[in-house]
Structure 1
Amino acid sequence: MTFPSDFTRPDRSRPEPLWHQAENAVRELIARGTWPDGMQLPNEGKLSELLGVSRITVRHALRNLEQSGLLRREHGRGTFVRRSTVIGGIRGLTSFTQEMAERGLVVGSRILEMIEIPADGEVASALEIADGTPVYRIRRLRAGDDQPIGIQTAYLPASQFPGLLEIEGPIPSLYELLRNRFGVTPRTAREIYRVGAVDGDDAELLDIAAGSPAFIVHRITSGNGKPFEFTISIMRGDRYEIRSKLHL
């Protein structure tokens, strides 16, 4: 196995811990595409030889990369690159775009639909408005590093965001748009995660087989104590994980 000529190898003369240098070296190889999505990494012994560090150092680096979602370990098979997985869990109120950035992925967004409709019971209840109140429905296909990860459908009160449907071009971050254009900042959100199957149309958009498992996420976002967004997300089960730390 060969590395790029300008590849940054761990160097004992540098002040950073060797495990941290080894971790960054693997990140660099993944980011460059030298080690692409799905590739099996060399075993710990070979990595130790290639990087010029001990097996313990390699093990430490791989564990950190697995916890950050860049690698996956399969018992009896080995360690594989998993660049396109987004890991959710206990965190601050973030947008999909922020989640992508935190995982080192390039966000992608394609608008599937932007229309005004009357709010049905579920949407009206979530936004605390009357049934039939005009709302905007914005449906987007979300991706990381050109790989589809989820479909998000956001509902917003039309009266609160006049002219929103007239905005041209992609909407990478809806929160950023609402903050900059309308002065609305998300303060709190409630989320419910369920597991469901993806139907045919959505499965085709997500490039998976119909009936594949997915996280169905309902989020109600508020600013100044009042809900302004209700979003239903369908996140690919093989590219989105939920991890939490539990304490006694």
Structure 2
Amino acid sequence: MPVDSSALIEEDDGRVTALPLARGQGVAAWRQIADEIEADIAAGRLAPGAQLPTEAKLAARFAVNRHTVRRAIAVLAAKGLLRATQGRGTFVEAKPLAYPIGRRTRFTEIVTREGHEAGGELISAVETAADEHVASILRIAVGAPVLETEMRRFVDGTPVSFGTSFFPLPRFAGMAAALRDTGSITRALAACGVPDYMRAETRISARLATVEDAARLDLSPGRILLVVDGVNVDAAGVPIQATRAFFAADRVELRVAG
């Protein structure tokens, strides 16, 4: 039995009006609620980025308990239609961002060009010794000092990726401070004397999100992540960054430039 979908978004003068569900027809209440919300999203009645009412309000609206509502939301989150954020609420996922990868791949430029606001957060930065893999990519000696950074990136406040990068030292001794100040790898590299750089190599794979991944990206565990391994070089062709980034597959559409 269809319900008035607009009532999911606004209340009448602050009153909570129960909306009927079809009972005794073999369709679980949580499934009916999930179907109604999904139909609203498909029809555009719930726009990308829209916030759903709280679990308590939805439970009152459908005359069910909060566990039933929570299960409906979990199913839609697993399908990539909703994003449940601890302490903030539940939101309709935005359409995937077109993210081209080519010789010049710049996160902030790409996001801004698509009409969105880009953001970056430095999670950690530590000096460590290059292992054999990192040393081979950066063309430095095994055990040479490198700066290992972890960053998380946002589009309109929603986390879309996180990743780890390695920068050779002492050349990029000021990289951590620049990343904290700017939240941008491009601007931080410029602050360290590299005004321009190119992507020398990109490899793309995929894996399922772990519990830790899900927490970083506000995802349900088990969702698909796109894994992008890249090597950036300066104008002279010298490797300056070895990076591995994890993108939420439902939020970013990677496009490899020809």
TM-score where L is the length of structure 2: 0.60
* Structure 2 equivalent of residue 125 of structure 1: 136
Shift of 1:215: 0.5
Helix, strand or coil at the partner of 1:124: helix
2:145 maps to which residue? 134
Secondary structure of the structure 2 residue equivalent to 1:221: strand
Please give the root-mean-square deviation of Cα atoms over the aligned residues, in Å: 2.6
Q: 1:161 to 1:184 in 2, by over 3 A?
A: farther
The Cα offsets for residues 30-54 of structure 1, whole Å up to 9 and x where unpaired, read as xxxx984167xxxxxxxxxxxxxxx
Per the alignment, residue 16 of structure 1 pairs with none
Equivalent of residue 193 in structure 2, options 182, 190, 193: 182
Structure 1 segments of 4+ aligned residues over 4 angstroms from their partners: 81-84
Unaligned 5+ segments in structure 1 are 2-33, 40-80
Partner letter of residue 238 of structure 2? K
Distance 1:219 1:244, change over 3 A: closer
| Structure of larger gyration radius | 2
Of 222, 237, 246, 2:249 maps to: 237
Pair 1:228 & 2:240 matched: yes
Deviations 1:42-73 (A, max 9, x none): xxxxxxxxxxxxxxxxxxxxxxxxxxxxxxxx
Aligned 8 A contact 2:96 2:253 in 1: yes
- Over 3 Å counting, the alpha-carbon distance change for 1:168 and 1:143 in structure 2 is closer
TM-score, normalization: structure 1? Answer: 0.62
Q: Which amino acid aligns with 2:170?
A: S
Helix, strand or coil: the match of 1:205?
Answer: helix
Show the 5 A alignment for 1:72-83. Answer: 83=94
Aligned residue identity for 1:155: F
Q: Give 1:184 deviation, angstroms.
A: 4.9
What secondary structure sits across from 1:116 in the alignment? strand
Pairing partner for 1:191 from 202, 209, 214: 202
Q: 1:195 to 1:98 in 2, by over 3 A?
A: same
Please point out which of 127, 140, 151 is paired with 2:162: 151
Please point out which of 207, 210, 219 is paired with 2:221.
210
Query: Which is further off, 211-220 or 156-165?
Result: 156-165
